[in-house]
Each structure stands twice: as C-alpha cells, then as structure tokens.
Amino acid sequence: MSADEHHAADLRTLMRPRVSARTIASDLAWLRRTFPDQFLVNEQRQGRYRFTGLPPRLLSAPIDHMAEDELAGLIAARGMLRMPDNRPGAERAGDGYSGTLAHAVDRLIRRAGLDRAAADIAPDTISVSRFGAAPEPPQVFAELMLVIVCGDSVRFLYQGLHDAAAKPAHAYPLRLVFIKNEWFCFAWSAGRIKQYRLTRFVSGDGGPLIERVREAPANLPRPLPHAEIDRILATAFGATGSQHARDRRRFVLAVSDDAWRHLRDRVWGEQQRWDDQHPSFPPGWRRLTFVSTGLEEIKYWVAGLAANARAEEPEELVEWMKAQVGVMAGWYGSQTVGGGVDAQEKIPARHSASGVDSLGPHGRAR
C-alpha cells in the first residue's frame, strides 16, 4: 500500500502466505484507526486504499522505560536533524523541529510521554546550532527514502552548482547520506553513480519536486552498486569523491603550529601521516600527507587555511593556489599584513619524498 493503491481483494493475492478476507479487513481497520493521517481511501473508487509514507515497524517487545542517556541521544539527534532555524529560542518554543527526521524524533518523544522531560534537557543542557546549513525543500527527504525502500526511480529538476538553469534528471536513488550538515542522495543516473544535494532539487512550473516512475535509468547494474558508494565515501573529502583510480591524489601540505592544532586529531584521507621533526621546518611547522579523491573540495579547504598552510602536492592544487593568491594580491595590494607566516619563516620546497602508495609524482594513481 505504500507503493501503490490497492483493493482489499488485491491485497489478499499479494500476501504470502495467503490470509483470509477477515484478517485483511481487520488489518485495514487497525491501520485506519492507528494512522488516520497516512491511511487514505480513494473517494472516487471505494474499497481502494493507500498508505502514504513508509509502513510502521511493529515492536516485538514493549519499551517500558528510557534511560537518561537514551533520551539525551534522541534529543541530540532531533537537534542535528532539524531544519536550519535562526530564530532566537526556536528550540525553546518547541516548534523548531521541522524536517522529516527531526519531526519524527520529536513525535516519538511526545508519544512516549517524555516531552516534559525533554524540555528539561533541551535547549538548556543540550542544544544544536545549524549555522550555515541550507534547508532542503519540504518532503524531498521523505519522498526519496520511500522511493529507495520501494525500489522505484524518479524524475526531477536539479540545479547544478555550475549550471545556468535547472536540468531534468532520471535517476534510481540508492542511498541518502548526511555530509557536513546537509543531505545528499547517491543515485544511478546516465550510466554512473551521481550524488545530488537535496537543497538543489527545484520545482518546475509549481509542479511536484519529484515524480516517481517505474522505469529505471539505462544500464542499472545488478546487484546494486552499494560497494561503489562505500568506496567513494572512503576516499572522499567532505561531499566530493570518486571511485575511479584516476581521481586519486596524494596531498601534501606544510602547516603552521596554529593550523596543526585544528587539524591534528582528524582524519582527512587515506594513508594519512604527519611529519613532525623535519630539520628545515620553522618552529612548529609540520607536513601533512594523505590520499583522497576530493580535489575540488580540498582546494577551498586549503585556501581557507590562508597563510597557515602551503600546498606542495599535487601540481593541480599548487597551480590553483598560485592563481588564487595572484588574484587576491591584486585586490589587497602587496603590503604585508599580520598573522600567518612570518616573513623570516621560509618553508623549504619539497624535494623528493617516499611514495605513500603506488601514486605517481603528481599524486595520480599509476
């Protein structure tokens, strides 16, 4: 019923093992009574029913209590999954938990009768900032999740980052992934895996954002390529990654002590290592090396470190940084400003280095 509209008699033929008409009638009555907002009756075709959204999960054992850390976990998840809302006191007002998953967690807390207990914890003890996150259009997440569960495809308009206008897409959604405060959909489209940012789904002429279709895109592989998505995420940088060996690069950065304090306890890519004791480094400077397929996003990350980091490999990154610095030098003039690298702290150029893996001299896989 989540996938399509059905008559009670149709449901009997679809059930395995077969069940009686009385059981079907009893189940339909329970669904209608328990989920009145999701159980729909076709007014023009009586006796045909549909259940909107994903079906409920029945609990095999009742939950008769909730530990304090379990409730705190739900509250934290609710905050992280809510739509960005910068109104002062949005969480305190209790109406700031919009968004499919945040609303679902909030509904679960209320159904459990723990809304007052939750109010004692959030937002005075636990609060989540969604600063800088872009909100996705309403219902896009819920519709894509339903499509993935039912194994259907979709058609939609997508506003690409570098496209002047939105373009139509036909895709088979595979997985929803939360990356850097936003949702992405990994899908099979145009003969390969693509990832779509949910915030860039747009409506054409006021129509629905997503059209659900049975026809799958051409050359959809079986089994579904979930292992390829795992490989993309394993070597990605933020939301940018690839499963192709040609996109792998070795990244080498010289970073100041100030930058190291922010970077040291994080994993930035595969085969990561820090070289702390290079004799020619200025005091406190270190060299960071890692492998990733996320060149495009790494460019802006390195640029954000400003004079606290110097790109050494790959060549594409070094040349891009030179171009950016040249443009900015024209904006600000050639005068020296405070912060970053001292004029006397010259970081020696990188000469030769032992290979991190089978990468070539510019970080490309051989």
**Same domain, residue pair 196 and 98:** no
**Same domain, residue pair 153 and 216:** yes
pLDDT tens string 28-44: 888 888 888 788 887 67
**Same domain, residue pair 244 and 362:** yes
**Same domain, residue pair 108 and 156:** no
pLDDT at 307: 93
Q: How many residues belong to the chain?
A: 366
Out of 203, 224, 245, a domain closes at 224
**Which residue range(s) make up the domain with 33?**
6-51
Distance CA 169, CA 344 (A): 54
Contact 185, 199 (CB under 8 A): no
Q: Give percent of the chain above pLDDT 90.
A: 52
**Same domain, residue pair 116 and 31:** no
pLDDT tens string 39-61: 888 767 667 888 877 778 888 88
Distance CA 193, CA 217 (A): 11
In a domain, 204, yes or no: yes
pLDDT at 9: 80
Distance CA 230, CA 245 (A): 14
Residue with tokens 């595979």: 174
**Same domain, residue pair 114 and 148:** no
Q: List beta partners, residue 48.
A: 7
Range of weakest confidence among 93-107, 140-154, 278-292 = 93-107
**Same domain, residue pair 206 and 238:** no
**Same domain, residue pair 292 and 357:** yes
In a domain, 130, yes or no: no
Residue with tokens 């100030």: 258
Judge residue 176's burial from the number of C-beta atoms within 10 Å of its C-beta, 0-12 exposed, 13-18 middle, 19 or more buried.
Answer: middle
Taking residues 310-339, report their average pLDDT.
86
In a domain, 313, yes or no: yes
State the total domains in the chain.
4
Best-predicted range by mean pLDDT (10-19, 82-91, 167-176): 167-176
**Same domain, residue pair 39 and 97:** no
pLDDT tens string 87-112: 766 677 666 788 888 988 998 999 89
In a domain, 24, yes or no: yes
Does residue 276 or residue 272 have the better pLDDT?
272
pLDDT band of residue 366 (cuts 50, 70, 90) is: very low
In a domain, 47, yes or no: yes
**What does DSSP assign to residue 200?**
G
pLDDT tens string 192-215: 999 999 999 998 877 789 999 999
Does residue 362 or residue 220 have the better pLDDT?
220
pTM, entire model: 0.79
Distance CA 197, CA 211 (A): 17
Out of 189, 224, 259, a domain closes at 224
For residue 92, the surrounding DSSP H or E stretch is: helix 90-93
Tokens of 4: 């399509």
In a domain, 239, yes or no: yes
pLDDT at 344: 45
Out of 224, 242, 265, a domain closes at 224
